Amino acid sequence: MHELAIAEGIIEALKEEVDGRITSIKLKIGEMSGVMPSALEFLFHIASKGTIAEGAVLHIEHIPLTVRCSDCSETFRVKDYCFECASCRGGNFRIIAGRELLIEEVEVDDIKPSP
């Protein structure tokens, strides 16, 4: 369950950057990131207890796996892990989206949490 380590990492990273209580966090999570969004949400709720992120809402944007064919330059979304270009049937590609795990936006209340 590396989602717990990810949740703790998000909280630690934001503690260093944020002055106040976090109310909302928007994340971008790629399909190939290896992160289960439902597990991350559940474990974030647990990991955030007693921190500046306690009670914060996670908003997760799912980023689909998108590749560019190296043979014909066609860009397409991979469905059902079928890595074949629909245009030329090539199998050489470069991933251009879908591996993300990004903190996109953070909303903060000006009131600092009590120690």
Residues of the domain holding 70? 2-108
* % of the chain exceeding 90 in pLDDT: 80
pLDDT at 79: 86
pLDDT at 44: 98
Residue 115 counted as domain residue: no
pLDDT at 111: 63
- Domain count for the chain: 1
CA distance 27 to 107: 12
Residue 44 counted as domain residue: yes
Say whether pLDDT at 34 is over 90.
yes
Residue 81 counted as domain residue: yes
pLDDT at 108: 95
Residue 113 counted as domain residue: no
Residue 114 counted as domain residue: no
Residue 40 counted as domain residue: yes
Q: DSSP code of 3?
A: H
CA distance 45 to 111: 20
Query: pLDDT confidence of 1, banded at 50, 70, 90?
Result: low
CATH label of the domain that carries residue 20: 3.30.2320.80
